Chain A
Amino acid sequence: MLSFALTIAFTLVGAAFALSFLRLLKGPDATDRILALDTLYINAIALLVLLGIHLASPLYFEAALLIALMGFVGTVALAKFLLRGDIIE
């Protein structure tokens, strides 16, 4: 039962990836693209967690944690650049 649920979950998260990527391509403004990137990295965390359950391996959490940290820093830097025209003042 769990493997069946995991198959459906992989499909849904993959579709979520595709929709976020389409928004990243479409825009129309820079803020939309930053938001799409933010969603893409959260989707990547979801996919890594699912992969960890599927392979019954706890190795993937470090990767998920790193993506969470770096993605947040990236989003804040890009938003700050749009807001002030500079990242570190």
Chain B
Amino acid sequence: MSIVTETILSLLVLAGAVFTFIGSLGLYRLRDFYTRLHGPTKATTLGVGCLLVASSIFFSVTGEGLSLHEILVSLFLFITAPVSAHLLAKAALHRELPSLAAMHNNDRETKSEHSA
């Protein structure tokens, strides 16, 4: 494996791991369900996508021929992540979970009423 390939692989692996971590950090730290939904569905999907591209390059370089199994997994993940996020958001709306944005807007309305 040449030094250029190894550098590209290391950067892709690091970027993927960092994005996966940021996604889970968002899931843990953010304050209401609707904002929490952003972390895993966007950042984590991108992170796993980076890792799968890195793995595809690694096995294409070391093994014989082009390795395309990874494309299958990443394609499946990129199709299913928005679908599950949409279903979860619908379930949350159905259960009428409180949203921070709605509370914020209510605050502003009451403040403008006081000032008027």
What is A's interface to B at a CB cutoff of 8 Å? 1-2, 4-6, 8-10, 12-13, 15-17, 19-20, 22-23, 29-32, 34-36, 38-39, 42-43, 45-46, 49-50, 52-53, 56, 58, 61, 64-65, 68-69, 72, 75-76, 79-80, 82-83
Indicate the member of B13, B17, B88 with the most A CB atoms within 10 Å. B17
A68 lies within 8 A of B47 (CB): no
**Total number of residue pairs linking A and B with CB closer than 8 Å:** 160
Q: Which of B7, B25, B77 contacts A42 (CB 8 A)?
A: B77
| Chain B residues touching A, majority SS | helix
What is B's interface to A at a CB cutoff of 8 Å? 1, 6-7, 9-11, 13-14, 16-18, 20-21, 23-25, 27-28, 33, 36-37, 39-40, 44-45, 47-48, 51-52, 54-55, 58-59, 62-63, 67, 69-70, 72-73, 76-77, 80-81, 83-84, 87-88, 90-92, 94-95, 97
15 A-B pairs within 8 Å (CB atoms) are namely A1-B7, A5-B9, A9-B14, A12-B17, A13-B21, A20-B28, A35-B33, A42-B45, A46-B20, A49-B48, A58-B67, A64-B73, A68-B77, A75-B84, A83-B91
By a CB distance below 8 angstroms, the chain B residues around A20 are: 24, 27-28, 40
By a CB distance below 8 angstroms, the chain A residues around B39 are: 39
A22 lies within 8 A of B28 (CB): yes
Q: Which of A5, A61, A82 contacts B95 (CB 8 A)?
A: A82
Bound-state CA distance A23–B29 (Å) is: 9
By a CB distance below 8 angstroms, the chain A residues around B27 are: 19-20, 23, 35-36, 39
Bound-state CA distance A71–B46 (Å) is: 17
